[in-house]
Each structure stands twice: as structure tokens, then as C-alpha cells.
């Protein structure tokens, strides 16, 4: 883990297993620079200074146990549940659910599929699409965006007529007049 104040470089640490073994990422795509949103920078820097052993530099781990070693899966699970409960997240929310949340929020912010793949260190679109979700709120945003685009185009091509409603002619009116 390496930070330069704006980005985090991940080179892979498979330290969540029972053997605490460090290892390579699943694919070359896992070795990447992730540009963080500004709101995370201070908290991440503080976390690295307090918990991740700032003296380890680029070889430091993001999450470490009490003795500075990689977490065992069972220890990490206990720590995650305690932190999750402390901040009021739902009981069933898993650490891995953060990956789904990150993908979905990145997409909602305007990121392309390729953008989310690079951020998450994924080499296949199939893997990336598993983590992207859409809900009714997002579908309402998409519908609103489509509505704005169509209304803007209508305003460019239709001359105002005193008989027409303020929203412009309907699709049926346009077809009938064609």
C-alpha cells in the first residue's frame, strides 16, 4: 500500500486467509493506482498513521492485527462486525458489500464500465457488472435525464404555437403533422 496524498497503489495482499500469506493479486489489473475522492484522504492518512504502521512505507498493509501482522479471517470478521455496529450499519452488511457499494456509487457519479473496472482492479466486464446495481431511485434519475434531453431537443426544433401546451407537442401530434 502506497499513498502520495492523492492515490493509493495496491499491489495485493492475500492476508485475510488462515495462513496470513501475502501474495499477488488475482490478475495484473489488481496492481493499480486508485485516485481517492477528497473526503477520504484525511481519514485514510490518519488510519495509515495510526494502524497500518507508517514505518513500513510502500510495504505496509491497510489492515493489521494487534501485533502488526496481517489479520486472520476470523479476527478480521470480529473487527469488521464491531466497527459496522459502531457506525450503525445493518447487521447483515458484509465487508465485501463495500465493493458493491463502491461500484454502484462510481457508476452513479458518471463512471464508465471501464472506469469501474480500473478502480476495482478487474480484468473482465463480467466481474465488473456483478458489482454494479441499479435501484428505483437511479432509474428515476435516468428517466429524468432522458426527459431533459428530449425536451431540450424539442425546444430546438419546434416553433412555439399559442395552441400548444407549455410542454410542447406530444409524440402523437408530431407524427400526425409529419
Question: Which pLDDT tens digit goes with each residue over 132-162?
Answer: 888 898 889 889 989 999 999 888 887 666 5
Q: Could you give the 3-state DSSP secondary structure of residue 132?
A: coil
9 and 86 housed in the same domain: yes
> In this prediction, what percent of the chain has a pLDDT beyond 90?
17
* Residue 29 placed within a domain: yes
131 and 83 housed in the same domain: no
Per-residue pLDDT, averaged over 66-79, amounts to 79
Cα distance between residue 45 and residue 55, in whole Å: 13
DSSP states along 32-101: EEEEPPHHHHHHHHHHHHHHS-GGGGGG--SS--TTSSPPPHHHHHHHHHHHHHHTT--TT--TTHHHHH
* Residue 169 placed within a domain: no
Angle at 15 between CA 13 and CA 19, to 5 degrees: 135
Backbone angles phi, psi at 29, to 5 degrees: -60, -25
Asked whether the predicted pLDDT for residue 14 surpasses 70, the reply is no
118 and 138 housed in the same domain: yes
Q: pLDDT band for position 1 (50/70/90)?
A: very low
Cα distance between residue 80 and residue 94, in whole Å: 8
43 and 113 housed in the same domain: no
Lowest mean pLDDT among 23-32, 112-121, 129-138, 169-178: 169-178
H or E segment and range at residue 116:
helix 113-120
pTM above threshold 0.85: no
**Residue pair 1/10 in contact by the 8 Å Cβ criterion:** yes
Domain enclosing residue 82, as ranges? 2-90
Query: How many domains are contained in the chain?
Result: 2
Query: 90, 118, 142 — which closes off a domain?
Result: 90
85 and 107 housed in the same domain: no
Cα distance between residue 38 and residue 47, in whole Å: 15
* Residue 170 placed within a domain: no
* Residue 167 placed within a domain: no
**Residue pair 66/78 in contact by the 8 Å Cβ criterion:** no
11 and 43 housed in the same domain: yes
Amino acid at each position: 500500500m502506497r499513498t502520495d496524498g492523492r492515490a493509493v497503489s495496491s499491489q495485493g495482499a492475500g492476508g485475510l486467509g488462515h495462513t496470513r500469506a501475502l501474495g499477488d493479486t488475482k490478475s495484473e489489473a489488481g496492481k493499480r493506482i486508485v485516485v481517492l475522492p477528497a473526503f477520504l484522504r484525511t481519514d485514510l492518512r490518519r488510519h495509515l498513521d495510526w494502524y497500518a504502521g507508517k514505518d513500513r512505507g510502500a510495504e505496509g498493509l491497510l489492515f493489521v492485527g494487534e501485533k502488526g501482522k496481517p489479520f486472520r479471517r476470523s479476527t478480521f470478521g470480529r473487527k469488521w462486525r464491531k466497527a459496522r455496529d459502531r457506525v450503525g450499519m445493518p447487521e447483515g452488511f458484509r465487508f465485501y458489500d463495500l465493493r458493491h457499494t463502491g461500484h454502484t456509487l462510481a457508476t452513479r457519479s458518471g463512471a464508465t464500465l471501464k472506469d469501474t473496472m480500473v478502480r476495482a482492479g478487474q480484468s473482465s466486464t463480467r466481474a465488473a457488472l456483478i458489482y454494479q446495481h441499479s435501484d428505483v431511485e437511479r432509474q428515476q434519475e435516468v428517466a429524468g435525464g432522458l426527459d431533459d434531453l428530449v425536451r431540450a431537443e424539442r425546444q430546438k426544433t419546434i416553433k412555439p404555437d399559442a395552441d400548444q401546451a407549455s410542454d410542447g407537442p406530444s409524440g402523437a401530434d408530431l407524427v400526425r403533422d409529419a
